[in-house]
Chains A and B, each alone.
Chain A
Amino acid sequence: MSTPGLAEDSPTSWGRIGKIIFFTVVSALVIYPVLWVFKMALSPSQGFDSSLNPFPSNPTLANFETVLLGDFFGRALLNSVVVSGATTVLGVFLACTSAYALSRFRFPLRTTAMLSFLVTQMFPGVLMMIPLYLIIDYLGLLDQLLGLVLVYSTTAIPFCVWMLKGYFDTIPRELEEAALMDGATRSMIFWRIMLPLSLPAVAVTALFSFMTAWNEFILAAIFMSKEENYTLPVMLRMMVGQFSSDWGNFAAGAIVVSLPVVVLFFALQKQLVGGLTAGGVKG
């Protein structure tokens, strides 16, 4: 077992060399599937390559070309960008306002409201699919991107509210009291003081809302019946369906789809982890 803060042995001690070897092997194992996907994406064939070598023998960008220039992928990409973007904006706005209320005001039913946000995280999604389908149908939003945006932003709200509320709590009230003294209104305080000060938390909330929308495929598959309304996950799932297996195209698509989230994730992961553990809620 290693203990921090004890620097009596040097960076080149046997223990450390052992650790480096261990982690090199483990990392190689962990990223092997990722390399495998890159290999499939860069290989000219659509099937599997029957060798364990994770590097492609004659790399080509043909698969990326096929996928990106394909009939529906561009459309699906656009749909996903629109849905995820709108979900992020709407979700962040809704979460910020209610988190502010929960953090700064004391009012009847406050605890109930917070608990209700928490409890919704335990509802199995399947329980809500049929009613959601009927409600979206009733609202005339079936097969429309707006329907997905509304559903995604509300499913992202509870986590975002808890995480933002935790962050708002750490901002000293004195700031607001001073602003109130100077004649600022509540909404000025909210827009000019709270939001700028909580930008890191807002960024995480945005990332979370974005990822919720970007990665969801069941509701998208149920709500959308026209091919031109498919989002990326539905599109990707179709590529390796029961009757087709364009693994090369799938791999290229998977990389295109994963890249933005992976980049965003690494940019914001420290805050994300902080938020996850601070809120103590499911994401």
Chain B
Amino acid sequence: MKARLFYFAAGVVFVTLAFLALAHFEARSAAREADELRVETIARAMAFTVIAEREREDEAAQGLTERLALEAGKRSIGLQEILVLEGTKIRAHSDPDKTGQRLNPESMADKRIYDAAQSLKATVRRNIAERERRPELDANPYPERELVRDPLKQTLAISIPAKSDGDMRALVRVVSAERPPPLTFPVTVLIIGLLALGLAGLLAWKLEGLTLHLAASAVILGVLVLQAQALLGWRDGLRHEHAAYLATTTAELAQAGALAAPTTAPERARLFHELGLYEVRSATVSTATAAPHLDFTANGFTTSIGTQAFEAASAQDRHDLLQVSLFFAFLALILTNLGLAGQLTRGAKALHEHRSAYAYLAPAMIGMMVLVFVPVVFGIALGFMDRDYNVWGFAGLRNYLQILSDFRVSEPTNFYFTLVVTVMWTFSNVSLHVGIGLFFALLLNDPMLKARGVFRVLLILPWAIPNYITALIWKGMFHKQFGAINFLLEALGLEPVAWFQSFWPAFFTNLSTNVWLGFPFMMVVSLGALQSIPGDLYEAAIVDGASRWQRFRRITLPLLMPALVPAVIMGTVWTFNMFNIIYLVSGGAPDGATDILITEAFRWAFERDRYGYAAAYSTIIFVILLIFTLITNRITGTTKGAFE
């Protein structure tokens, strides 16, 4: 038993460490990619500006912008859109249909470019006064498209005024590609890792002793290296096309001599200064090597464009991945030799022996694994991470500390404030559900009562209606001006209440909605239990002279408990996580004061954009509920019978 526990713990540690390491690695390369893309976009914009200006002066560069823009449009990689505008005429565009056209301010698609041109005029006017030209940055280049909410996927547009025939009347505008999503889930890693375990298991089945340990370790090591290679291949695939395009354009750039021409450093500096890009430190194009590339430093990030740069990034990744996989392999080696192999032997034997049982269980388990367990593990892991300026990083316990060590308890968004509200909410709901439900059930449990069935059906109705509909209806009923509740108050000669402007009325709206839809469940459960109590118990009690209260206290209540206790536990968990009612009725009004933990977690994730924080928040909710269930389970033994 002890050994098993140890293996289990070791396994958990192994998986967690592996996951965190990978997540960290992923976050870091995503951050690097985002930086690269940004700098790259600036570099491209500058290069195009230079080319666009050269084109007019240099015979050799004729039509180059058009060619490069079309090339970029065809591959749609690196850049989403390239536009060289002269007056209102489009000189070059990544969309071949647009090249050579004039802007049509009436058309929706052109409106944006037209606006950009207008903005260019303003820019030029402003910049002429300052005798400089400055690029315009636009974080939302496609206003007609739905705004991408994820800041990581937002694109960046750079517009640079350019000279044309000596006049500053051209505009170069490039739109960056969407930044790569930062948290790509390493499914490959998971699958290959499982494969490794399976292989090791098979091996362990056939071998014994030292040979077994060594062989299993070798398999795990091998598969982990393969796994690293697979991950790497996947990344490389992503980069390869990108790099190929970059290499082409870089070669074109070099050929045009646009950037290579000013060979001396002061000359380059002057060029960039003229472009108004102060942040750019250096940019060099090298055609000396077989792989032309552009080194570029801006905003403190250095990037290198071209195949050579790609090779370098690849090598860096390979090195990192090798380290990561060696680390895992080492861990795996230790674990195998600690007896994991023995476990696997047993596992494999059991798998074979009970194969039909596992076959029946497998479909549901696979589904649960992918869509329930993985998201949960992922969610918990996310709680240990945080996003800083769009870059994911490992945060350790920071989220948890921020949540739990903030004691400004009078703030509605404070964890302890919300916790108290949640406990109050759960307790008041469950006691009212049980109180009302039980009371009605006791009254209804009378076979001689006329129209009993009708009342039963009418009273169950609230339970049958989808709860989001109930919530929306009740929200309407509590409307200050048009709600039925305020009409009732006015009919009774009372002042109408602004239900959602202070805490207690708002809490009351949530509570009454949830009580309305929640008591029928308790009523039905109690009614079912009451009907199963044998009548002769009461007859015997009456013969013995027991009073009504004594009969209730000594017979009804104890016999109700087995049905009522699980219902109460369930009801508590339900109410604790009752998202729909809070979210739709009061919506947390006023100022999030009536939010419970679950809606607060939702707001942290989807309204305040702090996924890591929200994940930590949810994990805390989960732990609270888990402890609650374990304690009640221990006391009542509710699920004991069900495991047989």
Contacts and interface: CB of A to CB of B under 8 A. Distances in A.
A274 B563 CA distance: 10
B19 to A, nearest CB: 12
Q: Give the bracket for the number of chain A residues in contact with chain B.
A: 35 or more
Interface in B352-382: 353-354, 356-358, 360-361, 363-365, 367-368, 370-376, 378-380, 382
Interface stretch (B74-82, B411-419, B463-471): B463-471
Nearest to A100: B360
B411 to A, nearest CB: 20
Contacts of A107: 350, 353-354, 357-358
Given A16-B446, A124-B577, A276-B570, A5 B538 contact: yes
The A interface is mostly helix, strand or loop, or mixed, namely helix
Interface stretch (B111-119, B392-400, B454-462): B454-462
Contacts of B451: 20, 23
Contacts of B639: 118, 280
A160 B353 CA distance: 27
Contacts of B461: 30-31, 34, 262
A278 B367 CA distance: 25
B614 interface: yes
B538 A257 contact: no
Interface string A83-126: 00000000001110110111011011011011011111111111
A117 B454 CA distance: 37
Interface in B61-97: none
Given A1-B548, A1-B552, A3-B551, A262 B375 contact: no
B345 to A, nearest CB: 13
Contacts of A7: 447-448
B474 A33 contact: yes
B187 interface: yes
A43 interface: no
B498 interface: no
A222 B574 CA distance: 22
Interface stretch (B9-17, B277-285, B622-630): B622-630
A223 interface: no
B566 A277 contact: yes
A193 interface: no
Given A225-B146, A280-B570, A280-B638, A4 B446 contact: yes
Contact of A34 (B444, B465, B475): B465
Given A2-B442, A108-B350, A120-B376, A114 B643 contact: yes
B524 A126 contact: no
Contact of A258 (B363, B465, B535, B642): B465
B492 to A, nearest CB: 10
A250 B473 CA distance: 9
B586 interface: no
Interface in A147-161: 150-151, 153-155, 157-158, 161
Contact of A26 (B367, B440, B469): B440
Contacts of A281: 570
A150 to B, nearest CB: 6
Interface in A1-30: 1-7, 9-11, 16, 19-20, 22-23, 26-27, 30
Given A22-B443, A30-B462, A258-B466, A273 B368 contact: no
Given A20-B449, A155-B371, A280-B642, 17 more contacts: A1-B552, A4-B533, A6-B535, A11-B450, A33-B473, A33-B484, A50-B487, A104-B357, A107-B357, A124-B621, A127-B379, A135-B378, A154-B371, A222-B606, A240-B472, A258-B464, A277-B567
